[in-house]
Structures are given as structure tokens and as C-alpha cells.
Structure 1
Amino acid sequence: MQPPYRVLGPCQAFRTDDGTEVVLCGARLRALFVALAAAGGRAVSTRALIEQVWADGDRAEGRNPDRDDDRDRTAALQALVGRLRRALGREVVVSTPGSGYRLAADPDAVDLYRFERLAVEGSAALAEGDPARAAVLLDEALGLWRGPALADLPDRETDPLLVRADQRHDRARRDRLATDLALGRATEALAPLAALAAGQALDEPLQALRIRALRAAGRPAEALAAYEEVRASLAERLGTAPGPELRTLHAELLADGTATTPAAPELVPGPEPVPASESVPAPSSEPASGPAPAHAPGPPPVPDPRYRSALPARLTSFIGREDELGALAALWGERRLVTLTGPGGVGKTRLALEAAETYKDGPVHLAELASVREECTVVAAVLDALGARRTQLWQGPSVPGAGSEEPFAEIVEHCAGKRMLLLLDNCEQVVAAVAELTQTLLTRCPGVTVLATSREPLGVPGEVVRPLGPLAAGTALRLLGERGAAARPGFVVGEDPGAAEEICRRLDGLP
């Protein structure tokens, strides 16, 4: 359950009795609410509230609130408090002795303090060797962030609480990536780790975590290259050598080099595919016995069936969506951008994976963007999916309009002249960056086809949008029966068809 008072992003307030969202009209009113909520139930003096709510006005007018007569501001603050009480309830904003106010709420009712509690508990669980519990706690903590903390305060940059919140947010992000590593999900952590480490080249523990992830993902050569870049950066910028943790990790990489040098298991020719690593090597790096480019001289190139291993194995059967699957398969070769849209849980990702298996003109690369929260990390995630990860350290996120005019140059260079299907999954959180990348690829790389899943269309010229709706009643019952039997042996939908139909109806037919 989300906390009723939220300041991690644009402020939001909900009545605690019925959960109705309260509309806070006006920048001053929102600033007052954030200042009180950020105190976590503690009293805030009138002077402190005036400084926080009118900080921008004082700067513009050259005022010093410690010297100027601010009786007008005090009266204005009292009027704002009255408006906030009418919005939230008189009992929520309490006057305190000494001319101050507080929000009558436990700290856990404010998302900032709930985040801090969950982040601390998640970090402790990770330290105690329980990464599964740590992942649950940290996911819940990070899920509370909807944007910059204390965004509605006029002078938020000078607030020490903001510094503390941002530091703990950064720590929670790296702890969450460390749990992925502990749970054997190093591949999923690579792109967000690269983005997090890009702007912190001198943060040795973070760089060590990234190098460990590269090693665990079967990329020891890249791990060694990353270590060398960190070492060179420390020497150039600080005139120092890596610390004990990095040196020990480097020695371990050198010691087990012969055992971990291959980036992926050897692919054995034969009718059945052998699972490969998460990134598909370029044709020039295939074993001599594998198919070489000379085997497919004419268009369209003959795909290597072993590329199917780039897609994750499905652990359950695929039920329903036969018409949608057939329609998608028929589009290959006719349309180069298809976007599956629909609400969360409708089955976009599963249908996309099944449809990708029908693509026959080249390899399929899956870029999972669910964990990508910043548009500047989209390039890293796609390069990782293509098996073309860069090894140089980034100098921080790119600024639109500055620096290179070709932000996707490396992806274009990798894809040029090749036939492939690029599956971009869960694009809705970074849809603008994905749309720009997709349009660039379709324009510059005529052999690339893109299949995207998103809650909204990309808006790229030539896009075919395929909305997914709920499952039909019969299909939903069949799916419920199969999944129910897997969870509880002997479960049969027919034992109580009315109840089963009611469950499907209440779930709106979503898988």
C-alpha cells in the first residue's frame, strides 16, 4: 500500500480515510505541504516554514527574512495553513507550542521516510546473506520514487534532507543491483550498473561491483578491460593506484582466466540449438565449424538457428493469442516497426517473445528495458542486448543538444548491413529515447526490424500499432485452469465454474 503523503517526485496527498487524492492548487500550498511532510511528523517553526515556502521570492526581491519585517508572510502562512487544513482535514495539520506546525502522521505515512526504512532493511538483509528478501524490500523502496525528491520546494537544492535522500537513493540502487548479482542475475544488472558507474568513475566499490557483474555474466575480457580503465583513471586524475578490493578482484580475474575466458559456451553444430550467453557474438567470432558469412552470400541471408538462444526460455505454456501471433508473423518482411500496446499484465512481453520465434530472416536480440529508468541509459541497454557493450568509462549522462550529434552512432555501426530483429521490451518508461533510437535505426539500417512492447505507441513514422485487449472468457478460464493446477495439484476449473468465471471477470481477463 502506497503512503498517503508523497514527496519523492511531484507532491501528492491522499485522504487517509477513503484514499481520495487531494488537489493542492498553487505552488505555495504545495511547498507548505512538502515542508511539513518532509519533517516526518515533527514540528516545524513558523520561521523555517516561511524560509522554505518563500525562498524563491526572497532571492528575487533581495530580502533577508532574518532582518526584514515579515509579518505579512506570517499572515500569509496562516492563510496557507487554513487552506491545507481544508484540503487534508483540520486534524491533519496541527499547531504546536512555540508558533509552529506539524503533520499529524507517522513517518511511515510519508514516502520519503518509508523509503529510508525499506532501504535500510533491504541493505541489512543483503549483508545478512538473504538477497531474495533484500530484493523485495529494495524493489518496494525504489518503487516509491516518481521523480526528484522535494520537487515542489522552491529552494530544494540547499535542503540537507535532499542531499541525504539522494545519497540513500544511490545506495539503494547499487544495493539492488548487488542483489541481482547475488541471485545469479548478473546479465540483467549490467546495463543499469554501467549507467550508474558512468558518472562515478572514482567510486571504487561501485566499479568493483560492475567488474564482478561482468565476470559473473561470462565476460572476463571486458571485466579486465574495465579494471584497466579504472586503474588508468585513478592514476591520471588522482595519482593513486586502485585500493585493496579492486586489486584483489584483478588478481582473481587473472587467476581464473583460463576457466572463464570464453564469453559464452561453445556452440556445437547440429539440429538442436545449444544455449548461449545473453549476448550473441558477431559471425566473425563463431567457431570455425559454425556457419560463416560466406554460407549466405545472397539476400535474404539464411539465419543461424542457434540465435534463437538469445531469447529466454519460457517456463509455462502459451495459451490464446493465436490470431494475434499469426498476424504478427505475417508482418515480417512487410513492416519494420510493430508496437504491441496495452495495460500492464495484458501479456505484451509473452506475445512478443512468441512472435520473435517466428522471425526467420536473422538473429533476434532482446533488450529488456523494464529496469531502465533514465533515457540516457537506453543506449547502454541496447548495446548490451546486441553484444556490443562499450568498455570505456562514461563521463556522465549526455545533455541533449550538447556533445556528439550522433548519440546512437555505435549502435548504427554495429547494425549496419545486417538483418536482425530487435525486440525492445517495456519501453513506456523511456519512450522518447526509444522512439528516437528506433527512428534512427529504421532510417540508417534497412536490415533491422523492430518489435516493441509499450503501454503507449512510440509515434515513429511507419509504426504498426497492435493493441492487446483482455483474454476471451474461454481462454481466460483455460489459462486459470492450467496455472491453478500447477499451483495446486488436482485443481479443476469445472468444480466451480461460477467462481472461476467470477475470478476472470474481476481480473478483467488479464493473464
Structure 2
Amino acid sequence: MQVGILGPVEAHSPDGKISVGGPRPRTLLALLAIRVGEIVLLDRLIDGLYGAEPPSDAANALQGQVSRLRRALGDASLIEFHPAGYRLALAADQVDAHRFAALAADGQQALEQGDPQAAESLLSEALQLWRGPALADVDAAGHATRLEQQRSTATNALIAARIRLGKADVQEISDLVQRHPLDERLRGYLMQALNQQGRQAEALQAFEDAKALLADELGTDPSAELRAIHLQILRGQSHRELPAQLTTFVGRQEELRRIAALTSRLVTLTGPGGAGKTRLALQSAGPGAIFVDLAPVRDVAAATLQALGLKETVLAPEDRLTLALRERDALLILDNCEHVIVQAAALAQHLLSTCPQLRILATSREALGITGETLCPVPPLNPEQSLALFTDRARLVNPAFVRDEHTVDVCRSLDGLPLAIELAAARTRTLTTEDISARLHDRFRLLTKGNRAAAPRHQTLRAVVEWSWDLLDDDERDLATTFATFSGGATLDAVEQVGRHDIEVLEALVDKSLVEAADGRYRMLETIREFCAQHGRADAEHASYFHALARQADPELRRRNQLHWFAKLSAEHANLVQAVEWTTEHDPDRALRLVSDLSWYWYLKGSRTEIQATAQKLLAKLGEQPTEEYAILLALAAPERVHGVLEQLRGPIRYPFVLVAWAMLSGPPDPHAPRTRLQDEVERSEDPWIQGLISFSAAYLNWAVDGDRGKAVAESRVALRKFEDLGERWGAAQVLDVLANLTEDPHEALALTDQALRAVSELGANEELAEMRCRRADRLLDLDQDEAERDYHQALELASRAGVTATRALAATGLARIAHRRGNLTEAERLLREARGELGFGWMHSTAKEQVEAALTELVRSREA
């Protein structure tokens, strides 16, 4: 059912137009439709139907009219009775007046937000609902007047939108002026429309006509607004409207707020190509802003004159612009300044100094660099905004699109760069997001189908970056290709050492938005990095720099400054992995040394599984060697083979990871076995860290082999003091764990474990965090079973993240014991069988396997009991 009151009152069912009846049924339907969905009071309906002379039985008369209207509509439920009155049971959009009001409101909002294209579409649709004067065939003057006022407001807004789009209808406005001769807003629209068509003389005459009429009829002068339009026409100022946008604006709320809050008269939006600087500038600009696209031009002043609709004269273009703008409160948008940066800066400085009310919003890949400029960086979109943009644009070409986990991968791979995301979303018409994600390793080939009507530099991803590349000088290009070698960003020292250019060249790349600087590090967006890497790399120099860093850092990781050096290596983790991978392919001997220099870092970080595949590739390139370096490589790539090489080592030990790997894979030495030369060499070591390790080992053996608790505690205290003197948290944590095992007080054991956890937490040693958390759960098992369960789950998660399968098995065994105690034998068995499947080679795995098998045996006995 549809009801119309914007013209004669009508009702339509799916079968066609309904004959509502005479004046009173039509009036009743109109009164109910005006407040559709609401209860209209009985008194109000009676007044509307009968005026000042209602019948003596008005209530019955009203009821009779309702009955007639119900029969006419063919559905009595459409008019509901309530004790206070009647209600038309339709949705608001089933009445044309309400549909009109919603469309008109949206259109006016679009106009206020600077989107005249959307405003024109919405307002045109709203006004097309009118079929004549409102409520044309019923007596409802008050309601009709209100609706006509809304119609007039919408009509004015539509004319304003068309003026901004440069396509106003002069004749239509002239007709409205004749009907409303004292409406100054309509007079202003007429002047602007005439001026846009090049009829300046008629536009000026329209002002004189308005001025004379206002003086004769009202004894007043034209309003300030009308006088401003008159002055604009006198100066020939008919500037281009802002480009209409064809898609919705997504995200950037924080940047919009910042721009709105800035008081500087020159604000420059900076960022890499494709970051959305132009769209942000247009979105932040209010109505009346002057837009100058500098991308296709060579003369900035001439382009600005054209944007203002001004012709060149004998005056210099800068002076002509000053004359036009010096008394105007205006916003000038200078878009794409980067390739004419010197001209743009000079013009901006000239205009700001000669036009006191002028404000300039510039977009550029580098700052204009003049006094008073405020920079507003336009960063990549955050993950949530990236997903929203991808989804919005994908649904334009594929309405059934639903985002999935691959959508997240695509947006992350594209650095949150809006243009790249839009280009990728356009491919969802023929590709799945999984297909797109898999092809992003060759993003410049994939993202080639953009908007054909866009500027060439915005049609493909390659064109976007190439525009920036072409603006670089030779030194900047050379450093950009070098910088592209860094997969994890770089410090200033790394860039200077590998790139061999002065800091000024790096600063130029930052200024031109090809490199980002934050928190003492420099990085490239992956898209820019991939492009620059195609022009050259510096892998050998990169590997040399990071090998030197690894060599310098290795001993420091066992001294007082270990947190500083661990953080330094962690920040360079991606570069270190890259250096190992490159040297493995191109210089295997150096790769072997680099792997050894990084071995302790990888152990502390819990990253050994991450490097395993590369280590196995390197192992295949090398012949067997009786060296520490080769033993370390075997420990990472083929641990089952390492024991034979360890037995051949003679010392002195240069890489302490060898000793830890020996302990992990072979377990404590057999006190009855013949001593080896390596054992003697290790015990003679003057390295304080190795001495601490020897004391730690002695404490363990005193307890495990001799059962001498007192001696074990004393040796542990010696070891702890040595590690604490060094400021070495890993070693201290190991000793604290042994002391927790040695004490007979469960609460003291828990306190010592917490100390050990704090030490490895400071260091960020993932394997130890998982192991210590599991030990803490073991020690809680008989004190607080619920807290023990939480710790086991946390240990399981940490061990999964670090790839430590032995600790995963132990945590699962602990959870199985808890399930067993709670009577859930099925769950306990499942956990233990999963734990058994985790275990492989090495002493730690063998020890874990003993615990798993013991728990399984205990479970079987419980079932048999």
C-alpha cells in the first residue's frame, strides 16, 4: 500500500489505484498519513473533518468515516483503533511526504558536507515525488503550507547543488524569482547561474533589479550575501567547484579532526602516492573552496588563475591573483604540489603574505618548506579502516562480496595504502581474496586495472610509485634502491653504512614520503620497497653490516647490557634473517659463521624453528666439519647428528650455545664415563658466564646423581651470584629454577619460580617463559588446581608460539593430570596421546616422554581399579 499527499490525495495497492471516496474519506486518509505510524487523537481528526461546526454525534460520525475508508482500502487492519484515536498502520516510506522529507534531509546533509553530486541526486529524487500542490483536493491548509515550505527549501538546495556542479537552469531559477521576487537567495542563485554561463552583464543587471525592488518594496538594501556575490562577479571570480566524488569516504576521522582543529593558514597534507591526500583534502574542505589540480601543469600561478575562472592580463599572474583574493575569506586547495614544489611554495608564500584572509590547504609528497607551514602526515589506513575500504569498493563490482581471513591478509600486505586497496578490491569481480593474496608477491603486475577516467598516475599501482621515483635525483634513487634491501627497516647507522650516502639524502627521501621515520628507525612501505628493489639492491653490503652487528652483540647478550642488545637484535630480526638467507645462497661459509654468531640470540628469542628450513638448506651446501660452527648448524638443522661432532670438539668454546645444545640434546654427563678433552677445556675456562654455567651444572649433578641437597644448594648460590654479578637473567633464571626444585617448602618453590619468571620476562626469552610457566603450574598442582590449570594453558600457548614441542607435551601432561583428578578420564587420555605425538629427538624430549608415559600408566591403573 502506498499513500500520496504531495498533490491530490491518492492510495495505491499492488493491484492499482484505489478509489478512496469523497472529500471526507480523502481528508481522513490525509490526516492519518501526515502522522503515519502514530495515533492521531480523536479531537484532532474531528476538527480536521468538520472544522468549527462538528455534528452532535461527532464520535459516531468519525467512526462512520473510518468504516467507509476501511472498505475503500480493502484492508480494515490498515486503520487501527485505539482508545485515544486512530492510527494508519503503514511504514513511513509508504507515504510520499515522509519519503520526500527523508530524501530531502539526506540531500541537504550531502550538500553541507561538500558532496553536490550526491545532493543533486537525492534532492531530484525527492522533488520528483510531487504531483502538484500538497493536499490539493482536501481542506488542510496548515499542513499544506508546511509541506510547501519544505518543498521550497529542497528546491533551493537543489539549485545550490547544481550551481556548485556548474549546471544550474537559468530559466527555472528565473521562473522561481518571478513567483518569489523578494527572495534574495533565489536572486543570488540567478546571478551565479548567469555568471557561470558567461552572461556577466545580465548577472550584474539582476543585482540592480533586486536592489531597486528591495528599496521600493521594503526600504532596505541587498543582504551582505547578495552583495558578496555581486562583488565576486565584478571581479570575474567564478571558480571551479570541488570535484564531485563518486564513492563513499571511508575512515580518516582522526586526520579530519586534526585538520579542522589547526589554526595555521597553510596546512600541507603529506604522504606517499596513493595514501588518499587529495580525497582527504576534498573531504575536509567546506563549500566554496577553490580547487587547483597541479598534477598536469607546469605553471602553478596560471593554473590557479584558471581555477578561479580568471583571464590573464597585463598584470603578472601572482598580482592578478592577489587582486582577486586579498579581500576574500577563502580556502585554496593546491593539489599534487610535489613536481612543481618550488613554484607552489613561492606562490603560497606570496598569496599568504598579500591576502590576509586566505587559507591554503596543500597536498604533496613533500613539504612546501616555507614559514608558517603546518604538516599533517597522511599515514596508511589502520587495519579496521583498510578492511572497511576494501569491503566497500569490492561490493561496487561484486555485490555478493563477503570479507574473510584472506581480506585481512591482502590489506596488511598492501600496507593500508588506499589506492592499492581499491585496485585490489576491483579484482574481486574475477578473483577470490585468496587468489589476490597469493599473487601480491607481484603486486605491480596484479594491480593494473584502475579507474580509466582517473589521472594516468592513479590508474595502476606502478604508475603511483613511478610518479615519485621520477622526481628523485641520482643520489636519492641510489639510496632508495639500497634502502629497499632492508626488509625490516633500518637505523640511521645502518643506512649510512650500507648506503654510503650523507644523512641529507636520507632526509630528502623522508621529505618526499618514500621513507618513514619514527622512533629512531626508518622504513619503507612494502609497496614502495618492492618497486625500488627492482632498480637495484645492496645485499652483500647489507649482510656484511648485520654480520658485524651479530658478532658484536653475541657476547653482550651474556652481560649486564643484555636487555639493550637483545632489544637491538630483536628490532633487526627481519634483517638478520634476510642476511642469513642471502648468505646461504651466495656465501655459505659466511652464512655458517653468521648462524653461529646469532645462535644464542635465536635461543633466547625462541626462534630456532623459524630458521630451521634455511639451516637445512645451508647444511646441504657444506661438507662435514669438526667445528663449533658446524655443530651449531647441526643442532638447528639435524639435531640427531650433532652428538658425533660434539665429541670431536677440543675447545676452547667460543659459542656458548654449543654447551646449551649439548645439554638439551645429550642430557647431563655420565659421572662414570671417561672425561673428554672438551670437558676439561670448559672447566678451565676463565669466561665468567661459562664459570656460572659450570657451577649451575655442578649443583644439578650434586642433587641428581649424589642426592646431596645441601651441596647442591650451596653450588646453586655460587652460580646465582656469578650470573647476578654479570647481570645475566637467563642464567639466573635457570639457577632459581633449580633452587625451587631443591627446597622442600612448596611456597618458597613458588616464590623462586616467580623470580625466575620475572627474569626471563624482562629478557623476553620465549622458550624459557613457556618452560617456567609450565614449572610454576607443576608447583601449583597441589596448592591451587584452578590456577595451575590457567598456567598450563598459558604455557601451552607460549610453547606453541615458540615451537617448543617438549614443553607443549609437558603442559598437556599437566592438564591431563588435572582432568584425571576431576574424573574426566577420556579428556585426560586424549591430552596424553596428543602429548606423546609431540615428542621427538633429544634429552629434553626423552625426559618429557618419561612423564607422559608415567601419566598414561597411572590413567590405565585408574580405569582398571
Structure showing greater Rg = 2
Instruction: Tell me the TM-score normalized by structure 2.
Output: 0.27
Greater relative contact order (CA < 8 Å, ≥ 6 in sequence):
1
